[in-house]
């Protein structure tokens, strides 16, 4: 039974955690480049240097003292996001949709007081959410107003698009839709929905919620498949360019689509999860091995890589 | 690339294997040091009368040769001097000196392991001349009596001669005159010597042996038997009854070749007693003393040479890599979630003092209460480092309370709570809280259960005594452990948990 499942997974081309770590992350992601993606502020600056759009940054809090300047910054904006620069898996991110006086409204309707908010920021600074418990910085970023395309299948919060990029070639895509359960966050392990996106045309295919295959959004009841993701080609190009930007050969590229600004690079992940396989009902390994067999000239520029991917994944030869 | 890792693993395995082989083959270590083994405990006690005169007592003692191994020898000599000397095939303990008016008890004890499984490749002994007190005529008599069996192979010859002690001569019976001469000879020299003469006449090398019967017993006299060489091996003959002992003979020789076991040259031996007891011990114990006195490099650098109190630490320490290996297996092959990587190993080590049940109970209790307090503290908005300090203080307070309760109800396990890794527990409480907050209570409990399971498995392994002993005797096994760890580092197959996680994809293809 175990052996059978094992050989079946291998045949189906499912990538396991061990192989991902040993054969892809350790082989293609040089340790020295990790800080570029582990620190969202560094990623943001790097992306700006490469003309890749990111959500506008309002304020950075480096030290406890910097909190004083926050009030002034916040007085000019309505909604914003607080996130730790080095947070992992969406931990420590707080969305604020509105605020008056000293009451901050979360998308769920829950209100935070000014002390609640500053306490959270102090937590971020002391490193509670950071990967190695290092002291951290808190970022105050623009609240994303998501493109209405996903409005029918989003309870609240911001859906994001994850594209796994291997050696600069987009391999697999997924839209992550927040649910009531996930508190407006797009993290699958918190209960967000993962919907597979076909690389060739950017339409959604299958969907999973807590590893269960679903067809409709549990909160809104709308169908999840065959939604055309806007700006798809543009996003494939952004994804492909992150390889040249970071030198990391195996990346998860997280993007959001803002109503006015279009696709924005949110963050990069040097250890992208494996759940994207479940969302797409496809194995990553087969695609990765397929890319390894591609002629070397296709890897020269982001454009050639995207062109190859579009062609290869339209008529899969594997 | 996989190859260098595999090569490294093979090299490590080879080093480990080569060192173990060296120890087993050249240094004669037991292959399974923890395997139980039956041995005999021999002890001899003798009582010497006091007096102003010189005392000299010689008593045969067993020694190590192919077929038997003697260890843990202890001598009791009181005010007398003790010496061991070799005398022919024998090892003789010599107690000598002067006693006052007080009597003295001397003694000898040893652990003896009989190794009958080894065939003794002794070279054939030479045929000794007749005993000097046997005349030509008596020699001729013997020759005549055994002549009819001369053509039989030695084994059969012995089997025909043996019953003669009971007067069974087979057919045709010997000459009546010879028989009569023989019985007077038996009377004059005694049965052992009579048998010896017959065996010599039949050209069978033989020797008189004195010793003890291998049976749980206390005795004040030794046994006499005759070892007879039958071409391939020594067989033991009971001279009085003319019976041949079944192999392996249940005999423990003390002196061979006719000299008596106990010789009192000067002084008076008032009482002597031999005690034999069966015992089951680790194979290791038989080699232990040898190693302690050996000058070989690996013996001198053995962990057994450490002072006792440090040995105990190393017995456990040397198994910690096994614990780490278990974590590699459980995390990378099975997919158990744990708080921190080596936290379960530290827990397992601490469980040694508290016991598994109490350890797990305290672990669960501290984490649970810690979680409740941590939740409550959350409202106080403490900064990370002071907050962790508060939790740490809380953990120490728990420990103190547990220890005091343990003292009141007389439970040592509760008092040993202080040996639990408190820093790890503090971090565990914090991690448990964060996981529960972010990923839900299910995930938190699942991770806690995973940690407890891994700690339990690790604990059971490091508590397994044969393992402890084997690793202590062969520390080079650590290289083998490292080899497996290297190989696991290159394991890129699926985890058991992934088989479950991705199983659902199966239905869709």
Probe site for chain A from B377, B432, B499 (most A CB atoms < 10 A): B499
- In this structure, the number of other CB atoms found within 10 A of the CB of residue B184 comes to 9
Among A115, A142, A169, the domain boundary falls at: A142
Residue, of A272 and B230, whose pLDDT is higher? A272
d(CA A277, CA A281): 6
Lowest mean pLDDT among A35-39, B7-11, B26-30, B215-219: B26-30
Structural domains in chain A (count): 2
Does B505 contact A6 at a Cβ distance shorter than 8 Å?
no
Do B236 and B270 lie in one domain? The reply is no
d(CA A244, CA A168): 7
Do B222 and B321 lie in one domain? The reply is no
d(CA B417, CA A137): 39
On whether the CB atoms of residues B407 and B415 are closer than 8 A, the answer is: yes
Residue A1 lies in a domain: no
Q: What is the CATH number of the domain that holds B60?
A: 2.60.40.2250
Do A165 and A36 lie in one domain? The reply is yes
Partner-chain residue, chosen from A19, A23, A91, that has the shortest CB–CB distance to B438 = A91
Do B321 and B444 lie in one domain? The reply is yes
Structural domains in chain B (count): 3
Residue B22 lies in a domain: no
Partner-chain residue, chosen from A19, A128, A212, that has the shortest CB–CB distance to B492 = A19
Tell me the C-alpha to C-alpha distance, in Å, between residue A46 and each of A58, A243, B285: 17, 12, 68
Residue A7 lies in a domain: no
Rg of chain A taking only CA atoms, in angstroms: 20
Do B460 and B352 lie in one domain? The reply is yes
Among B253, B277, B294, the domain boundary falls at: B253
Partner-chain residue, chosen from B332, B502, B508, that has the shortest CB–CB distance to A18 = B332
Residue B11 lies in a domain: no
Residue B394 lies in a domain: yes
User: What is the token pair recorded at A271?
Assistant: 């250890």
d(CA B242, CA B246): 13
Residue B299 lies in a domain: no
Task: State the pairing for strand pair B243-244/A212-214.
Answer: unpaired
| Residue A237 pLDDT greater than 60, yes or no | yes
Which chain B residues contact residue A22 at CB under 8 A? 489-492
Please tell me which residue of chain B has the smallest CA distance to A135: B384
Do B357 and B465 lie in one domain? The reply is yes
Stated as kind and residue range, the H or E segment containing B322 is helix B320-328
| Residue B433 pLDDT greater than 60, yes or no | yes
Do A220 and A307 lie in one domain? The reply is yes
Q: Which domain holds residue A257?
A: 12-52+146-314
Q: What is the CATH number of the domain that holds A181?
A: 3.30.470.20
d(CA B343, CA B338): 8
User: What is the token pair recorded at B27?
Assistant: 């240094």
d(CA B228, CA B245): 11
Residue B405 lies in a domain: yes
Name beta bridge partners: A164.
A172, A252
Do A92 and A37 lie in one domain? The reply is no
pLDDT at A66: 79
Do B339 and B407 lie in one domain? The reply is yes
pLDDT at B509: 45
d(CA B373, CA B390): 10
| Residue A318 pLDDT greater than 50, yes or no | no
Residue with tokens 């508060």: B390
Probe site for chain A from B390, B498, B506, B507 (most A CB atoms < 10 A): B498
Q: Which domain holds residue B229?
A: 136-253
Do A164 and A287 lie in one domain? The reply is yes
Which chain A residues contact residue B434 at CB under 8 A? 91, 128
Each residue's pLDDT tens digit, B184-205: 888 888 888 888 888 888 888 8
Residue A4 lies in a domain: no
Residue A72 lies in a domain: yes
How far is A24 from chain B, CA to nearest CA, in Å?
A: 11
Q: What percent of chain B has pLDDT over 70?
A: 97
Which chain B residues contact residue A190 at CB under 8 A? 438-439
Residue, of B214 and B131, whose pLDDT is higher? B214
Secondary structure letter of residue A300 according to DSSP = S
Rg of chain B taking only CA atoms, in angstroms: 35
User: What is the token pair recorded at A175?
Assistant: 């839209």
List % helix, strand, coil for chain A (3-state, nearest 5).
Answer: 40, 25, 35
pLDDT at B14: 95
pLDDT at B116: 64
What is the reported pTM?
Answer: 0.72
Do A89 and A218 lie in one domain? The reply is no
Residue A3 lies in a domain: no
Do A16 and A65 lie in one domain? The reply is no
Each residue's pLDDT tens digit, B454-465: 899 889 888 888
Do B328 and B450 lie in one domain? The reply is yes
Do A249 and A272 lie in one domain? The reply is yes
Do A187 and A63 lie in one domain? The reply is no
């Amino acid at each position: 039974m175990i052996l059978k499942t094992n050989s079946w997974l291998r045949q189906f081309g499912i990538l396991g955690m061990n192989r991902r770590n040993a054969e892809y992350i350790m082989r293609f992601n040089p340790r020295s480049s990790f800080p570029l993606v582990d620190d969202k502020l560094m990623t943001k600056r790097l992306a700006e240097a490469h003309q890749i759009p990111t959500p506008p940054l309002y304020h950075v809090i480096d030290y406890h003292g910097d909190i004083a300047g926050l009030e002034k910054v916040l007085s000019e904006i309505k909604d914003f996001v607080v996130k730790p620069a080095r947070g992992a898996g969406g931990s420590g991110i707080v969305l604020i949709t509105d605020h008056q006086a000293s009451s901050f409204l979360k998308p769920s309707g829950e209100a935070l007081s000014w002390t609640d908010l500053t306490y959270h920021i102090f937590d971020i600074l002391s490193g509670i959410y950071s990967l190695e418990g290092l002291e951290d910085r808190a970022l105050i970023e623009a609240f994303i107003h998501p493109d209405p395309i996903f409005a029918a299948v989003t309870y609240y919060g911001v859906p994001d698009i994850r594209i796994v990029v291997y050696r600069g070639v987009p391999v697999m895509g997924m839209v992550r839709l927040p649910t009531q359960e996930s508190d407006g966050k797009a993290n699958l392990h918190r209960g967000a929905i993962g919907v597979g996106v076909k690389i060739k045309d950017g339409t959604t295919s299958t969907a999973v919620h807590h590893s269960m295959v679903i067809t409709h959004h549990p909160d809104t009841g709308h169908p999840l498949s065959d939604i055309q993701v806007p700006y798809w080609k543009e996003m494939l190009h952004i994804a492909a360019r992150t390889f040249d930007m970071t030198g990391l050969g195996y990346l998860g590229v997280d993007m959001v689509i803002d109503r006015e600004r279009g696709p924005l690079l949110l963050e990069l992940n040097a250890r992208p999860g494996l759940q994207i396989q479940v969302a797409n009902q496809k194995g990553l390994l087969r695609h990765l091995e397929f890319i390894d067999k591609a002629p070397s000239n296709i890897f020269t520029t982001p454009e050639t890589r995207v062109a190859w991917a579009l062609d290869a994944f339209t008529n899969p030869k594997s | 690339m996989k190859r260098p890792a595999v090569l490294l693993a093979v090299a490590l395995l080879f080093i480990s294997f080569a060192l173990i082989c060296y120890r087993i083959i050249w240094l004669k270590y037991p292959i399974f040091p923890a395997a139980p083994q039956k041995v005999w405990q021999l002890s001899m006690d003798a009582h010497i009368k006091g007096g102003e005169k010189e005392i000299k007592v010689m008593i045969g003692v067993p020694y190590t040769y192919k077929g038997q191994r003697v260890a843990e020898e202890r001598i009791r000599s009181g005010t007398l001097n003790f010496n061991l000397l070799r005398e022919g095939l024998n090892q003789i303990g010599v107690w000598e000196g002067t006693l006052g008016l007080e009597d003295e008890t001397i003694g000898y004890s040893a652990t003896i392991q009989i190794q009958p499984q080894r065939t003794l490749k002794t070279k054939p002994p030479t045929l000794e001349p007749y005993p000097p007190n046997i005349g030509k005529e008596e020699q001729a008599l013997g020759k005549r009596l055994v002549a009819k069996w001369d053509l039989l192979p030695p084994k059969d010859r012995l089997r025909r001669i043996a019953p003669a002690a009971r007067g069974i001569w087979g057919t045709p019976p010997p000459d009546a005159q010879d028989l009569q001469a023989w019985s007077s000879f038996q009377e004059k020299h005694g049965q052992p010597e009579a048998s010896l003469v017959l065996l010599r006449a039949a050209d069978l090398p033989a020797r008189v042996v004195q010793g003890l019967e291998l049976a749980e017993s206390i005795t004040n006299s030794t046994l006499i038997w005759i070892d007879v060489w039958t071409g391939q091996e020594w067989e033991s003959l009971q001279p009085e009854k003319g019976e041949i002992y079944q192999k392996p003979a249940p005999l423990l020789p003390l002196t061979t070749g006719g000299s008596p076991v106990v010789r009192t040259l000067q002084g008076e031996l008032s009482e002597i007693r031999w005690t034999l007891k069966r015992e089951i011990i680790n194979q290791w114990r038989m080699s232990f003393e040898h190693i302690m006195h050996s000058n070989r490099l690996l013996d001198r650098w053995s962990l057994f040479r450490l002072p006792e109190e440090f040995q105990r630490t190393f017995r456990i320490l040397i198994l910690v890599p096994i614990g780490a290996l278990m974590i590699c297996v459980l995390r990378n092959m099975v997919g158990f979630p744990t708080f921190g990587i080596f936290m379960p190993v530290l827990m397992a080590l601490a469980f040694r003092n508290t016991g598994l049940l109490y350890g797990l109970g305290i672990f669960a209790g501290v984490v649970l209460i810690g979680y409740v307090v941590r939740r409550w503290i959350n409202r106080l908005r403490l900064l990370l480092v002071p907050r962790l300090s508060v939790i740490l203080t809380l953990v120490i307070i728990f420990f103190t309370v547990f220890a005091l309760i343990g003292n009141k109800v007389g439970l040592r396990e509760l008092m040993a709570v202080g040996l639990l890794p408190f820093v790890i527990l503090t971090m565990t409480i914090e991690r448990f809280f964060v996981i529960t907050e972010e990923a839900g209570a299910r995930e938190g409990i699942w991770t806690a259960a995973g940690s407890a399971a891994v700690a339990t498995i690790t604990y059971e392994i490091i508590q397994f005594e044969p393992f402890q002993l084997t690793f202590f005797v062969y520390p080079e096994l650590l290289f083998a452990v490292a080899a497996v760890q290297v190989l696991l580092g290159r394991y890129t197959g699926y985890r058991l948990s992934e088989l479950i996680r991705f199983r659902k994809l199966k239905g869709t293809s």
